[in-house]
Structure 1
Amino acid sequence: MGKLNGILKIQGTLDNLTFYKSADGHLVRTKGGVSKQRVMNDPAFVRTRENGVEFGHSASSGKMFRQAIGGMVFKAKDRKLTSRLVKVMSQLKNLDSVSIRGKRNVAEGLGNTEGKLLLKGFNFNDNAPMQSVLFATILVDTASGKVSIPDFFPMEQLRSPEGATHFSMQSAFLNLDFATGISDITFSDVANFPLDNSTLSISLNPTSVPVGSGTQVYLLLVEFFQEVNGVQYVLNNGSYNVLNVLDVA
């Protein structure tokens, strides 16, 4: 795969070359390969078909996860979120030690400790990962979903972008069954604070415990604002915001 440089940008097929635009720029690749009909029917491509089914499942699981979180995910994400999430879902699928090839799935992969640890700590905005923004002890009550940050000093423990005057935090408690797609999510109130020398004791309580028998996921959203004439504006369309998977149970 080559990258197209120059003034003229082409999209489409020319002879045996295919030109297309992606998130990484204008690219070109050679046309050709095995026909779709042969891939779908030839016994020699059984592994290819199995891999294709499992990749589709991983992509669907990533979409299911994003949709289950709701509008929160739009407040803190990067342009490669979808592909990064598919990669994690594929790794979770690989941890399925029960199903046959072509049928391995995320739900089984999350059924063990290794799978839960793999999803824990995932950052929806790779431009603002939690570990580079928030330097504090975060406590999660997995029974109630309560998220606490005791003795929090924002001026020292929060890396805020230039121009920020305020920040907010909100937690979410998600129950998602990756096998059925059934989900339920509850949120805490949004807690908004000025960026000053105050010492805070932050407590974020979801409105209730979500119902269901799926995987329980605990999330934290951190947003930054600039106040102008009494109105708070999101900085740079939320590119500095954090959304992190705090824990998985």
Structure 2
Amino acid sequence: MAKITAPFQIEGTIDDLNFFIDEYGINRARLKPESNMTTEKFKTLPSFHKARMQNIEFGQCATKAKTFRLLAAEFNKQAKDGRFAGRANKLLLEVLQEDQKNELGSRLFTEGIKTKFGQEFLIGFESNKHRPISKVFIDNNKWEIRNNRFSHPDFNPANDINWPEEATHVTFNLAIANWNIENDTFSTNYGQPIIISKNEEKQNIVLEVVPPIEQNLQITFIFIGFSKQRGSRDIALHRKYNTATIIAYQYL
């Protein structure tokens, strides 16, 4: 390792040189270690068998996740964080791991989703992790989802919602997606949005949507979005303030 003598410190990598600060605060440089790993070794060495099997399963879930992210695409456009895709991959991998029929490397998402726990993993998945429904509704015991209907009795706009500072209006909507897991196809029905001012009186919120006619895995999403009134215009706030959550499922 070489000691760096300079009026400033350098950290990072340039070509084959790695610059770092050692435990004594001395700026040093060293050659990057050469890796003896090759694609051929990874494919053939027994010691990498488990990693190869995990890689196969992850690839399967990443492919399925492309469709999963589209199930409520209209909601996700308006409520999504930067790690949405990665979290979707992780969710589907957890579902796949519930496949008890097949061994590591041969486990299938289509089997895992048929199990009780595999399906329950879906509930509460947030497109925007920073604004989960549990933080948007002040009291989550007031609302319920039943028979393709979301209801919130005696909703008090000013007190029952955690409002972003600039928001003057909130939009609620519901969607049900039917996902044919085997064919990896889907259809989604969206409801009619309800827009409520922060200053309105108490009221009953009822959201309904007719599910798709196909009967496979049906997933229900709720959207809660915020906007601010400027003159006669209603301007949507950034998606980081909004919520899109899976609140129900039914495997038909």
Give the shorter-chain TM-score range.
0.7 to 0.9
Distance (Å, rounded) in 2 between the aligned partners of 1:31 and 1:223: 51
Aligned-residue offset at 1:233 = 0.7
Could you tell me which residue of structure 1 aligns to residue 82 of structure 2? 79
Distance (Å, rounded) in 1 between the aligned partners of 2:52 and 2:196: 52
Aligned-residue offset at 1:197 = 4.3
Could you tell me which residue of structure 2 aligns to residue 62 of structure 1? 65
Distance (Å, rounded) in 1 between the aligned partners of 2:236 and 2:75: 14
Could you tell me which residue of structure 2 aligns to residue 141 of structure 1? 146
Could you tell me which residue of structure 2 aligns to residue 23 of structure 1? none
- Tell me the secondary structure at the aligned position of residue 223 of structure 1: strand
Alignment of 1:36-51 (within 5 A): 36-51=39-54
Distance (Å, rounded) in 2 between the aligned partners of 1:62 and 1:124: 13
- Tell me the secondary structure at the aligned position of residue 119 of structure 1: coil
Could you tell me which residue of structure 1 aligns to residue 56 of structure 2? 53
Could you tell me which residue of structure 1 aligns to residue 22 of structure 2? none
1:91 and 2:125 matched: no
Q: CA contact under 8 A between 1:16 and 1:31: conserved in structure 2?
A: no
Distance (Å, rounded) in 2 between the aligned partners of 1:50 and 1:62: 19
Gaps (5+ residues) in structure 2?
1-7, 19-31
Could you tell me which residue of structure 2 aligns to residue 21 of structure 1? none
Distance (Å, rounded) in 2 between the aligned partners of 1:8 and 1:229: 53
Distance (Å, rounded) in 2 between the aligned partners of 1:200 and 1:7: 63
Distance (Å, rounded) in 2 between the aligned partners of 1:52 and 1:16: 31
TM-score, normalised by the number of residues in structure 1: 0.83
Could you tell me which residue of structure 1 aligns to residue 199 of structure 2? 196
Alignment of 1:132-211 (within 5 A): 132-134=135-137, 135-136=139-140, 137-142=142-147, 145-206=148-209, 208-211=210-213
159-168 or 189-198, which moves further after superposition?
189-198
Distance (Å, rounded) in 1 between the aligned partners of 2:9 and 2:144: 53
1:102 partner amino acid: G
Q: What is the aligned counterpart of 1:232 among 231, 234, 239?
A: 234
Rg larger in structure: 2
Distance (Å, rounded) in 1 between the aligned partners of 2:17 and 2:182: 42
1:248 and 2:249 matched: yes
Task: Give the percent of matched residue pairs that are identical in Structure 1 and Structure 2.
Answer: 21
- Tell me the secondary structure at the aligned position of residue 71 of structure 2: helix
Aligned-residue offset at 1:176 = 1.0
1:119 and 2:119 matched: no
Q: CA contact under 8 A between 1:16 and 1:30: conserved in structure 2?
A: no
Q: CA contact under 8 A between 1:186 and 1:210: conserved in structure 2?
A: yes
- Tell me the secondary structure at the aligned position of residue 72 of structure 2: helix
- Tell me the secondary structure at the aligned position of residue 96 of structure 2: helix
Distance (Å, rounded) in 2 between the aligned partners of 1:8 and 1:211: 62
Change (3 A) 1:223 1:8: farther
Aligned-residue offset at 1:90 = 1.3
Aligned pairs, number: 229
Instruction: Give the root-mean-square deviation of aligned CA atoms.
Output: 2.5
Distance (Å, rounded) in 1 between the aligned partners of 2:163 and 2:146: 26
Aligned-residue offset at 1:57 = 1.3
Aligned-residue offset at 1:32 = 2.6
Gaps (5+ residues) in structure 1?
1-5, 18-28
Post-superposition, which runs of at least 4 consecutive aligned residues in structure 1 deviate over 3 A?
6-11, 41-44
Aligned-residue offset at 1:53 = 0.6
Could you tell me which residue of structure 1 aligns to residue 214 of structure 2? 212
Could you tell me which residue of structure 1 aligns to residue 28 of structure 2? none
